[in-house]
Protein backbone atom coordinates (compact mmCIF):
# COMPACT_ATOMS: atom_id res chain seq x y z
CA UNK A 1 0.00 0.00 0.00
CA UNK A 2 1.42 3.40 -0.99
CA UNK A 3 1.57 6.30 1.43
CA UNK A 4 -1.18 8.02 -0.55
CA UNK A 5 -3.41 4.94 -0.39
CA UNK A 6 -2.83 4.49 3.35
CA UNK A 7 -3.74 8.08 4.17
CA UNK A 8 -6.75 7.92 1.87
CA UNK A 9 -7.97 4.81 3.70
CA UNK A 10 -7.44 6.47 7.09
CA UNK A 11 -9.30 9.59 5.94
CA UNK A 12 -12.22 7.39 4.95
CA UNK A 13 -12.34 6.19 8.58
CA UNK A 14 -11.92 9.43 10.56
CA UNK A 15 -12.74 12.16 8.02
CA UNK A 16 -10.48 14.35 5.89
CA UNK A 17 -10.16 17.11 8.48
CA UNK A 18 -8.90 14.68 11.12
CA UNK A 19 -5.77 13.56 9.28
CA UNK A 20 -2.90 16.06 9.54
CA UNK A 21 -0.27 15.53 6.88
CA UNK A 22 1.08 18.93 5.76
CA UNK A 23 4.62 19.55 6.98
CA UNK A 24 3.83 22.95 8.47
CA UNK A 25 0.95 21.49 10.48
CA UNK A 26 3.08 18.57 11.69
CA UNK A 27 5.70 20.80 13.31
CA UNK A 28 3.85 20.89 16.62
CA UNK A 29 3.73 17.07 16.73
CA UNK A 30 7.43 16.42 16.17
CA UNK A 31 8.44 16.84 19.83
CA UNK A 32 7.26 16.38 23.39
CA UNK A 33 8.75 17.82 26.57
CA UNK A 34 12.15 16.22 25.90
CA UNK A 35 15.06 17.34 23.72
CA UNK A 36 14.41 14.91 20.86
CA UNK A 37 12.52 15.62 17.64
CA UNK A 38 11.19 13.58 14.76
CA UNK A 39 8.36 14.47 12.40
CA UNK A 40 5.63 11.84 11.84
CA UNK A 41 4.34 11.14 8.33
CA UNK A 42 0.83 12.02 9.58
CA UNK A 43 -1.21 12.57 12.74
CA UNK A 44 -4.64 10.96 13.07
CA UNK A 45 -7.35 12.29 15.40
CA UNK A 46 -9.91 9.50 15.98
CA UNK A 47 -13.28 10.03 17.66
CA UNK A 48 -13.86 6.64 19.27
CA UNK A 49 -12.49 3.15 19.91
CA UNK A 50 -13.74 1.73 16.64
CA UNK A 51 -11.90 4.41 14.66
CA UNK A 52 -8.71 3.74 16.63
CA UNK A 53 -9.06 0.03 15.90
CA UNK A 54 -9.59 0.52 12.17
CA UNK A 55 -6.68 2.97 11.87
CA UNK A 56 -4.38 0.60 13.78
CA UNK A 57 -5.41 -2.30 11.52
CA UNK A 58 -4.71 -0.26 8.38
CA UNK A 59 -1.27 0.76 9.69
CA UNK A 60 -0.52 -2.83 10.70
CA UNK A 61 -1.39 -4.18 7.25
CA UNK A 62 0.80 -1.49 5.66
CA UNK A 63 3.76 -2.30 7.97
CA UNK A 64 3.70 1.21 9.48
CA UNK A 65 4.61 1.94 13.10
CA UNK A 66 2.18 3.81 15.36
CA UNK A 67 2.81 6.07 18.36
CA UNK A 68 0.06 7.25 20.71
CA UNK A 69 0.27 10.87 21.83
CA UNK A 70 -1.37 12.48 24.82
CA UNK A 71 -0.81 16.18 25.48
CA UNK A 72 2.88 16.13 24.57
CA UNK A 73 4.08 17.02 28.08
CA UNK A 74 6.16 13.85 28.51
CA UNK A 75 9.79 14.30 29.53
CA UNK A 76 11.53 11.20 28.12
CA UNK A 77 10.79 11.29 24.39
CA UNK A 78 7.89 8.87 24.73
CA UNK A 79 5.72 10.62 22.12
CA UNK A 80 8.50 10.98 19.54
CA UNK A 81 7.47 9.12 16.38
CA UNK A 82 10.02 7.19 14.28
CA UNK A 83 10.51 8.57 10.76
CA UNK A 84 7.56 7.63 8.53
CA UNK A 85 5.53 6.48 11.53
CA UNK A 86 1.94 7.48 12.27
CA UNK A 87 0.93 9.35 15.38
CA UNK A 88 -2.51 8.91 16.93
CA UNK A 89 -3.58 11.81 19.15
CA UNK A 90 -6.70 12.12 21.30
CA UNK A 91 -8.04 15.68 21.56
CA UNK A 92 -11.42 14.41 20.27
CA UNK A 93 -11.58 11.56 22.79
CA UNK A 94 -11.75 13.75 25.88
CA UNK A 95 -15.04 12.77 27.50
CA UNK A 96 -15.72 11.82 31.10
CA UNK A 97 -18.17 9.04 30.28
CA UNK A 98 -19.45 8.15 33.74
CA UNK A 99 -18.93 8.93 37.41
CA UNK A 100 -20.10 6.20 39.79
CA UNK A 101 -20.45 7.79 43.22
CA UNK A 102 -21.39 4.49 44.91
CA UNK A 103 -18.38 2.52 43.67
CA UNK A 104 -16.17 5.65 43.55
CA UNK A 105 -15.01 5.20 39.99
CA UNK A 106 -14.93 7.24 36.80
CA UNK A 107 -14.87 5.96 33.22
CA UNK A 108 -12.93 8.30 30.93
CA UNK A 109 -11.39 8.54 27.48
CA UNK A 110 -7.61 8.92 27.07
CA UNK A 111 -7.72 12.60 26.08
CA UNK A 112 -9.25 13.74 29.38
CA UNK A 113 -6.96 16.22 31.13
CA UNK A 114 -5.87 15.12 34.60
CA UNK A 115 -6.97 18.30 36.40
CA UNK A 116 -10.28 18.42 34.52
CA UNK A 117 -11.14 14.98 35.90
CA UNK A 118 -10.16 15.99 39.42
CA UNK A 119 -12.16 19.22 39.27
CA UNK A 120 -15.18 17.40 37.85
CA UNK A 121 -15.36 14.68 40.50
CA UNK A 122 -14.83 17.15 43.36
CA UNK A 123 -18.38 18.24 42.64
CA UNK A 124 -19.38 14.75 43.82
CA UNK A 125 -17.25 14.94 46.98
CA UNK A 126 -14.41 12.86 45.49
CA UNK A 127 -11.03 13.37 43.86
CA UNK A 128 -8.52 11.74 41.52
CA UNK A 129 -5.29 11.49 43.51
CA UNK A 130 -2.35 11.33 41.01
CA UNK A 131 -1.32 14.95 40.38
CA UNK A 132 1.75 15.43 38.14
CA UNK A 133 3.25 18.90 37.93
CA UNK A 134 1.82 19.04 34.39
CA UNK A 135 -1.63 18.29 35.85
CA UNK A 136 -3.23 21.27 34.07
CA UNK A 137 -2.16 19.94 30.67
CA UNK A 138 -1.34 16.21 30.78
CA UNK A 139 -3.90 13.60 29.71
CA UNK A 140 -4.97 10.36 31.37
CA UNK A 141 -3.79 8.30 28.38
CA UNK A 142 -0.29 9.72 28.70
CA UNK A 143 -0.38 9.26 32.48
CA UNK A 144 -1.10 5.56 31.96
CA UNK A 145 1.70 5.18 29.42
CA UNK A 146 4.32 6.61 31.78
CA UNK A 147 2.74 5.60 35.12
CA UNK A 148 2.74 9.27 36.09
CA UNK A 149 3.27 10.27 39.69
CA UNK A 150 3.04 13.62 41.45
CA UNK A 151 3.46 15.12 44.93
CA UNK A 152 0.50 13.30 46.49
CA UNK A 153 1.63 9.90 45.25
CA UNK A 154 3.80 9.61 48.36
CA UNK A 155 0.74 8.53 50.32
CA UNK A 156 -1.63 7.41 47.58
CA UNK A 157 0.58 5.77 44.97
CA UNK A 158 1.19 6.47 41.28
CA UNK A 159 -1.23 6.06 38.36
CA UNK A 160 -1.10 2.25 38.46
CA UNK A 161 -2.66 2.28 41.93
CA UNK A 162 -5.70 4.16 40.64
CA UNK A 163 -6.47 2.39 37.35
CA UNK A 164 -8.92 -0.50 37.69
CA UNK A 165 -9.63 -1.50 34.11
CA UNK A 166 -9.01 -0.47 30.50
CA UNK A 167 -10.25 -0.97 27.00
CA UNK A 168 -7.14 -1.33 24.82
CA UNK A 169 -6.44 -1.53 21.09
CA UNK A 170 -3.49 -3.79 20.20
CA UNK A 171 -1.06 -3.25 17.32
CA UNK A 172 -3.19 -5.19 14.80
CA UNK A 173 -6.41 -3.36 15.74
CA UNK A 174 -7.81 -6.02 18.07
CA UNK A 175 -9.81 -4.61 21.00
CA UNK A 176 -9.22 -6.23 24.40
CA UNK A 177 -10.14 -5.48 28.01
CA UNK A 178 -7.62 -5.51 30.84
CA UNK A 179 -8.43 -5.53 34.51
CA UNK A 180 -12.07 -5.35 35.45
CA UNK A 181 -14.94 -2.96 35.84
CA UNK A 182 -15.07 -4.28 39.40
CA UNK A 183 -12.39 -3.32 41.90
CA UNK A 184 -10.70 -6.71 41.79
CA UNK A 185 -9.92 -9.12 38.93
CA UNK A 186 -8.74 -12.72 38.95
CA UNK A 187 -5.80 -14.04 36.95
CA UNK A 188 -2.65 -12.28 35.81
CA UNK A 189 -2.54 -8.54 36.37
CA UNK A 190 -2.31 -7.52 32.70
CA UNK A 191 -3.67 -4.11 33.66
CA UNK A 192 -0.67 -3.59 35.92
CA UNK A 193 1.73 -4.71 33.19
CA UNK A 194 0.14 -2.28 30.73
CA UNK A 195 0.38 0.80 32.97
CA UNK A 196 3.89 2.19 32.51
CA UNK A 197 4.59 0.26 29.30
CA UNK A 198 5.18 3.59 27.54
CA UNK A 199 2.85 2.90 24.63
CA UNK A 200 4.68 -0.24 23.50
CA UNK A 201 1.86 -2.69 24.40
CA UNK A 202 -1.22 -0.97 23.00
CA UNK A 203 -3.33 2.19 23.15
CA UNK A 204 -5.93 2.63 25.89
CA UNK A 205 -9.25 4.00 24.61
CA UNK A 206 -11.36 3.77 27.78
CA UNK A 207 -9.99 3.93 31.32
CA UNK A 208 -11.76 3.11 34.59
CA UNK A 209 -10.09 4.93 37.49
CA UNK A 210 -10.47 4.72 41.24
CA UNK A 211 -11.67 7.84 43.06
CA UNK A 212 -11.04 8.78 46.68
CA UNK A 213 -13.29 10.69 49.09
CA UNK A 214 -12.27 14.25 49.86
CA UNK A 215 -10.41 14.41 53.18
CA UNK A 216 -12.09 16.00 56.17
CA UNK A 217 -9.02 18.10 56.93
CA UNK A 218 -6.00 19.26 54.92
CA UNK A 219 -3.08 21.01 56.61
CA UNK A 220 -0.09 22.37 54.71
CA UNK A 221 3.27 23.25 56.28
CA UNK A 222 6.18 25.23 54.92
CA UNK A 223 9.42 24.26 56.65
CA UNK A 224 12.15 26.84 56.03
CA UNK A 225 15.78 25.68 56.27
CA UNK A 226 19.17 27.39 56.04
CA UNK A 227 20.55 24.76 53.65
CA UNK A 228 19.58 21.70 51.68
CA UNK A 229 21.41 19.27 54.01
CA UNK A 230 19.28 20.18 57.01
CA UNK A 231 16.14 19.94 54.85
CA UNK A 232 17.16 16.40 53.80
CA UNK A 233 17.68 15.48 57.45
CA UNK A 234 14.17 16.74 58.19
CA UNK A 235 12.72 14.47 55.48
CA UNK A 236 14.18 11.39 57.16
CA UNK A 237 13.08 12.66 60.57
CA UNK A 238 9.44 13.07 59.52
CA UNK A 239 9.29 9.62 57.92
CA UNK A 240 11.24 8.19 60.84
CA UNK A 241 8.43 9.25 63.18
CA UNK A 242 6.21 6.81 61.33
CA UNK A 243 4.42 9.65 59.53
CA UNK A 244 3.59 9.34 55.83
CA UNK A 245 2.37 12.78 54.72
CA UNK A 246 0.12 13.12 51.70
CA UNK A 247 2.99 15.09 50.13
CA UNK A 248 6.56 15.97 51.06
CA UNK A 249 8.31 18.21 48.52
CA UNK A 250 11.66 19.99 48.55
CA UNK A 251 12.55 23.23 46.76
CA UNK A 252 16.11 24.56 46.81
CA UNK A 253 17.33 28.17 46.89
CA UNK A 254 17.72 28.53 43.12
CA UNK A 255 14.22 27.17 42.50
CA UNK A 256 12.83 29.52 45.16
CA UNK A 257 14.41 32.43 43.31
CA UNK A 258 12.89 31.32 40.00
CA UNK A 259 9.41 30.88 41.49
CA UNK A 260 9.49 34.21 43.29
CA UNK A 261 10.57 35.86 40.03
CA UNK A 262 7.18 35.03 38.51
CA UNK A 263 4.76 34.79 41.46
CA UNK A 264 4.73 35.44 45.18
CA UNK A 265 4.31 31.88 46.41
CA UNK A 266 5.22 32.85 49.97
CA UNK A 267 8.69 31.28 49.83
CA UNK A 268 11.35 33.32 51.69
CA UNK A 269 14.05 34.63 49.34
CA UNK A 270 16.85 34.00 51.86
CA UNK A 271 16.06 30.31 52.50
CA UNK A 272 18.55 27.63 51.55
CA UNK A 273 15.66 25.23 50.96
CA UNK A 274 12.03 24.75 51.89
CA UNK A 275 9.93 21.67 52.53
CA UNK A 276 6.28 21.68 51.50
CA UNK A 277 4.46 19.12 53.65
CA UNK A 278 0.79 18.26 53.48
CA UNK A 279 -1.25 16.16 55.91
CA UNK A 280 -4.74 14.85 55.16
CA UNK A 281 -7.31 12.89 57.10
CA UNK A 282 -9.76 13.18 59.98
CA UNK A 283 -9.59 16.32 62.13
CA UNK A 284 -8.33 14.50 65.21
CA UNK A 285 -5.74 12.53 63.25
CA UNK A 286 -4.34 15.59 61.50
CA UNK A 287 -4.24 17.56 64.76
CA UNK A 288 -2.28 14.78 66.46
CA UNK A 289 0.24 14.28 63.67
CA UNK A 290 0.73 18.02 63.08
CA UNK A 291 2.53 18.42 66.38
CA UNK A 292 4.93 15.60 65.51
CA UNK A 293 5.68 17.10 62.10
CA UNK A 294 6.38 20.54 63.55
CA UNK A 295 8.62 19.04 66.22
CA UNK A 296 10.59 17.06 63.62
CA UNK A 297 11.15 20.19 61.55
CA UNK A 298 12.31 22.31 64.49
CA UNK A 299 14.53 19.52 65.82
CA UNK A 300 16.38 19.22 62.49
CA UNK A 301 17.27 22.89 62.25
CA UNK A 302 14.33 24.68 60.68
CA UNK A 303 14.66 28.46 60.74
CA UNK A 304 10.88 28.77 60.67
CA UNK A 305 7.78 26.61 60.30
CA UNK A 306 4.63 28.10 58.80
CA UNK A 307 1.16 26.62 58.46
CA UNK A 308 -1.19 27.72 55.69
CA UNK A 309 -3.99 29.67 57.33
CA UNK A 310 -6.63 29.01 54.68
CA UNK A 311 -7.27 27.41 51.29
CA UNK A 312 -6.01 30.49 49.45
CA UNK A 313 -2.62 30.35 51.18
CA UNK A 314 -2.40 26.60 50.65
CA UNK A 315 -3.14 27.06 46.95
CA UNK A 316 -0.48 29.78 46.70
CA UNK A 317 2.17 27.45 48.17
CA UNK A 318 1.26 24.71 45.70
CA UNK A 319 1.16 27.06 42.71
CA UNK A 320 4.79 27.85 43.47
CA UNK A 321 5.75 24.18 43.50
CA UNK A 322 3.84 23.22 40.38
CA UNK A 323 5.02 26.15 38.27
CA UNK A 324 8.69 25.89 39.25
CA UNK A 325 9.79 24.28 35.97
CA UNK A 326 8.22 27.02 33.89
CA UNK A 327 9.72 29.65 36.19
CA UNK A 328 13.23 28.44 35.34
CA UNK A 329 12.86 30.45 32.13
CA UNK A 330 13.63 33.55 34.20
CA UNK A 331 17.12 32.15 34.88
CA UNK A 332 18.05 30.47 31.57
CA UNK A 333 16.31 29.95 28.23
CA UNK A 334 16.66 26.15 28.23
CA UNK A 335 16.66 23.29 30.66
CA UNK A 336 17.14 19.54 30.74
CA UNK A 337 15.47 17.54 33.49
CA UNK A 338 16.74 14.30 35.05
CA UNK A 339 14.25 11.98 36.76
CA UNK A 340 16.15 9.64 39.07
CA UNK A 341 15.30 7.93 42.35
CA UNK A 342 17.44 7.12 45.39
CA UNK A 343 16.55 5.75 48.84
CA UNK A 344 15.45 8.63 51.13
CA UNK A 345 18.47 8.03 53.36
CA UNK A 346 20.76 8.77 50.40
CA UNK A 347 19.21 12.13 49.46
CA UNK A 348 21.98 14.19 51.04
CA UNK A 349 24.68 12.12 49.34
CA UNK A 350 22.94 12.39 45.96
CA UNK A 351 22.42 16.13 46.21
CA UNK A 352 26.11 16.60 47.05
CA UNK A 353 26.88 14.72 43.84
CA UNK A 354 24.52 17.05 41.96
CA UNK A 355 26.39 20.04 43.37
CA UNK A 356 29.77 18.55 42.46
CA UNK A 357 28.64 17.77 38.89
CA UNK A 358 27.20 21.26 38.54
CA UNK A 359 30.52 22.85 39.53
CA UNK A 360 32.67 20.53 37.44
CA UNK A 361 30.65 21.01 34.25
CA UNK A 362 29.94 24.69 34.83
CA UNK A 363 26.18 24.06 34.51
CA UNK A 364 23.65 25.60 36.86
CA UNK A 365 21.44 22.90 38.39
CA UNK A 366 18.23 23.61 40.29
CA UNK A 367 16.50 21.06 42.50
CA UNK A 368 12.75 20.76 43.09
CA UNK A 369 11.55 17.24 43.77
CA UNK A 370 9.48 14.62 45.60
CA UNK A 371 11.65 14.30 48.69
CA UNK A 372 9.34 11.89 50.49
CA UNK A 373 9.97 9.06 48.03
CA UNK A 374 13.51 10.04 46.96
CA UNK A 375 12.44 11.02 43.43
CA UNK A 376 14.85 13.77 42.39
CA UNK A 377 14.50 16.20 39.48
CA UNK A 378 17.92 17.87 39.01
CA UNK A 379 17.23 20.52 36.39
CA UNK A 380 20.16 21.73 34.28
CA UNK A 381 19.71 25.35 33.21
CA UNK A 382 21.62 26.68 30.20
CA UNK A 383 21.53 28.51 26.89
CA UNK A 384 21.50 25.96 24.06
CA UNK A 385 22.96 28.54 21.66
CA UNK A 386 26.32 28.31 23.44
CA UNK A 387 28.63 25.82 21.65
CA UNK A 388 29.16 22.59 23.57
CA UNK A 389 26.73 23.33 26.38
CA UNK A 390 24.23 20.66 25.30
CA UNK A 391 26.93 18.01 25.17
CA UNK A 392 27.93 19.04 28.70
CA UNK A 393 24.36 18.77 29.95
CA UNK A 394 24.02 15.27 28.48
CA UNK A 395 27.30 14.15 30.04
CA UNK A 396 26.27 15.59 33.41
CA UNK A 397 22.92 13.80 33.19
CA UNK A 398 24.70 10.50 32.49
CA UNK A 399 26.81 10.90 35.63
CA UNK A 400 23.73 11.60 37.72
CA UNK A 401 21.99 8.50 36.37
CA UNK A 402 25.04 6.40 37.22
CA UNK A 403 25.10 7.83 40.74
CA UNK A 404 21.42 7.00 41.29
CA UNK A 405 22.14 3.40 40.31
CA UNK A 406 25.22 3.22 42.55
CA UNK A 407 23.21 4.46 45.53
CA UNK A 408 20.66 1.69 45.10
CA UNK A 409 18.10 3.74 43.21
CA UNK A 410 16.63 3.59 39.74
CA UNK A 411 16.43 5.57 36.50
CA UNK A 412 12.92 7.01 36.62
CA UNK A 413 10.29 7.70 39.22
CA UNK A 414 7.53 8.92 36.91
CA UNK A 415 8.78 10.24 33.55
CA UNK A 416 9.58 6.90 31.94
CA UNK A 417 12.65 5.64 30.10
CA UNK A 418 11.65 6.48 26.52
CA UNK A 419 14.46 7.60 24.24
CA UNK A 420 16.45 9.59 26.74
CA UNK A 421 17.34 6.97 29.33
CA UNK A 422 17.22 3.71 27.38
CA UNK A 423 21.01 3.46 27.08
CA UNK A 424 21.25 3.61 30.90
CA UNK A 425 19.09 0.53 31.41
CA UNK A 426 22.13 -1.77 31.87
CA UNK A 427 22.98 0.23 35.01
CA UNK A 428 20.07 -1.41 36.82
CA UNK A 429 19.05 -4.42 34.70
CA UNK A 430 20.94 -7.44 33.40
CA UNK A 431 20.63 -8.65 29.82
CA UNK A 432 18.43 -11.47 31.11
CA UNK A 433 16.17 -8.95 32.88
CA UNK A 434 15.70 -6.93 29.70
CA UNK A 435 15.16 -10.02 27.58
CA UNK A 436 12.36 -11.07 29.94
CA UNK A 437 10.78 -7.62 29.63
CA UNK A 438 10.94 -7.79 25.85
CA UNK A 439 9.21 -11.16 25.90
CA UNK A 440 6.35 -9.57 27.84
CA UNK A 441 6.16 -6.82 25.23
CA UNK A 442 6.06 -9.43 22.46
CA UNK A 443 3.03 -11.04 24.12
CA UNK A 444 1.13 -7.78 23.56
CA UNK A 445 2.82 -6.53 20.38
CA UNK A 446 4.76 -9.35 18.66
CA UNK A 447 5.65 -7.21 15.62
CA UNK A 448 6.96 -4.33 17.78
CA UNK A 449 4.92 -1.83 15.74
CA UNK A 450 3.94 0.35 18.72
CA UNK A 451 6.36 3.06 19.84
CA UNK A 452 9.46 1.10 18.74
CA UNK A 453 12.95 2.17 19.75
CA UNK A 454 11.93 3.10 23.29
CA UNK A 455 12.95 1.71 26.70
CA UNK A 456 15.58 -0.83 25.59
CA UNK A 457 19.17 0.09 24.64
CA UNK A 458 20.11 -0.16 20.98
CA UNK A 459 23.20 2.05 20.77
CA UNK A 460 21.35 5.03 19.27
CA UNK A 461 22.41 7.72 21.71
CA UNK A 462 20.94 11.20 21.63
CA UNK A 463 23.21 13.41 19.49
CA UNK A 464 23.16 17.20 19.93
CA UNK A 465 24.18 17.77 16.31
CA UNK A 466 21.11 15.87 15.16
CA UNK A 467 18.74 17.67 17.52
CA UNK A 468 19.88 21.28 17.93
CA UNK A 469 16.66 22.52 19.53
CA UNK A 470 16.49 21.91 23.27
CA UNK A 471 13.54 21.96 25.59
CA UNK A 472 12.54 25.58 26.11
CA UNK A 473 11.72 26.53 29.67
CA UNK A 474 8.20 27.80 30.16
CA UNK A 475 6.60 25.79 27.34
CA UNK A 476 5.16 23.23 29.73
CA UNK A 477 3.69 23.62 33.18
Percent of the chain with pLDDT over 90: 89
**Mean per-residue pLDDT, 293-297:** 96
**Mean per-residue pLDDT, 147-167:** 96
Confidence of residue 461 (pLDDT cuts 50, 70, 90): low
Which residues, including other chains, have CB under 8 Å from residue 165's CB and lie 6 or more apart? 177, 178, 179, 180, 181, 185, 191, 207, 208
**Mean per-residue pLDDT, 154-169:** 97
Residue 184's pLDDT is what? 73
The reported pTM is: 0.93
Q: How many residues does the chain have?
A: 477
Angle 94-470-203 from CA coordinates, rounded to 5°: 30
CB atoms closer than 10 angstroms to residue 101: 12
pLDDT at 38 over 80: yes
Distance between CA atoms of 208 and 166, rounded to whole angstroms?
A: 6
Confidence of residue 3 (pLDDT cuts 50, 70, 90): confident
Which residues, including other chains, have CB under 8 Å from residue 436's CB and lie 6 or more apart? none
What three-state secondary structure class fits 240? helix
Residue 308's pLDDT is what? 96
Confidence of residue 473 (pLDDT cuts 50, 70, 90): very low
**Mean per-residue pLDDT, 448-470:** 68
**Contact between 469 and 331 (Cβ < 8 Å):** no
What three-state secondary structure class fits 293? helix
Confidence of residue 36 (pLDDT cuts 50, 70, 90): confident
pLDDT at 313 over 70: yes
**Contact between 159 and 129 (Cβ < 8 Å):** no
Distance between CA atoms of 95 and 90, rounded to whole angstroms?
A: 10
Distance between CA atoms of 253 and 385, rounded to whole angstroms?
A: 26
pLDDT at 472 over 70: no
Residue 465's pLDDT is what? 32
Q: Which of 185-189, 203-207, 288-292, 431-435 has the lowest mean pLDDT?
A: 185-189
**Mean per-residue pLDDT, 180-209:** 92
Confidence of residue 460 (pLDDT cuts 50, 70, 90): low
**Contact between 261 and 381 (Cβ < 8 Å):** no
Residue 4's pLDDT is what? 84
pLDDT at 411 over 90: yes
pLDDT at 316 over 70: yes
Element (H, E) at 281: strand 273-281
End-to-end CA separation in angstroms for the chain = 41
pLDDT at 67 over 90: yes
**Mean per-residue pLDDT, 79-84:** 92
DSSP code per residue over 160-200: GGTEEEEEEE-TTS-EEEEE-SSS---S--HHHHHTTSTTS
**Mean per-residue pLDDT, 198-220:** 97
Q: CA–CA distance from 199 to each of 49, 249, 384, 455 (Å)?
A: 16, 29, 30, 10
Distance between CA atoms of 296 and 242, rounded to whole angstroms?
A: 11
Q: CA–CA distance from 260 to each of 58, 256, 270 (Å)?
A: 51, 6, 11
pLDDT at 68 over 90: yes
Cβ neighbourhood burial of 9 (10 Å; 0-12, 13-18, 19+) = middle
Domains of the chain and any CATH numbers: 3-89 (3.30.43.10), 96-213 (3.30.465.10), 217-327 (3.30.70.2190), 332-414 (3.30.70.2740)
pLDDT at 181 over 80: no
**Region at 213 (left for phi over 0; alpha for psi -120 to 50; beta for the rest):** beta
Looking at every residue in the chain, the average pLDDT score rounds to 93
**Mean per-residue pLDDT, 365-383:** 95
pLDDT at 189 over 90: yes
Residue 222's pLDDT is what? 98
**Mean per-residue pLDDT, 314-328:** 94
Which residues, including other chains, have CB under 8 Å from residue 168's CB and lie 6 or more apart? 175, 176, 177, 178, 194, 201, 202, 203, 204, 205
**Mean per-residue pLDDT, 328-334:** 94
Amino acid sequence: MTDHDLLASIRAVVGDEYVIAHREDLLVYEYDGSVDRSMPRAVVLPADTQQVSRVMALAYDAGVTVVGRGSGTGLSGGAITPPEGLQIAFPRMDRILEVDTVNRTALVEPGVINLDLDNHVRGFGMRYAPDPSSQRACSLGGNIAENAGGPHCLAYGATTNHVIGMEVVLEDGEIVHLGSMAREAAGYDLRGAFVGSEGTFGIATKILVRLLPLPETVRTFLGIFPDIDSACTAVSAVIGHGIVPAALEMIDALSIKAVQNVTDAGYPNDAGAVLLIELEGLNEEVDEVSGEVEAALWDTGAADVRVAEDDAERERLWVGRKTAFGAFGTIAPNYYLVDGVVPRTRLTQMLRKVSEVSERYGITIANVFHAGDGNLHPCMLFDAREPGVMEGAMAAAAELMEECALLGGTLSGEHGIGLEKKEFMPLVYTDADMEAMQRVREAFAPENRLNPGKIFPDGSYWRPSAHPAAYTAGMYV
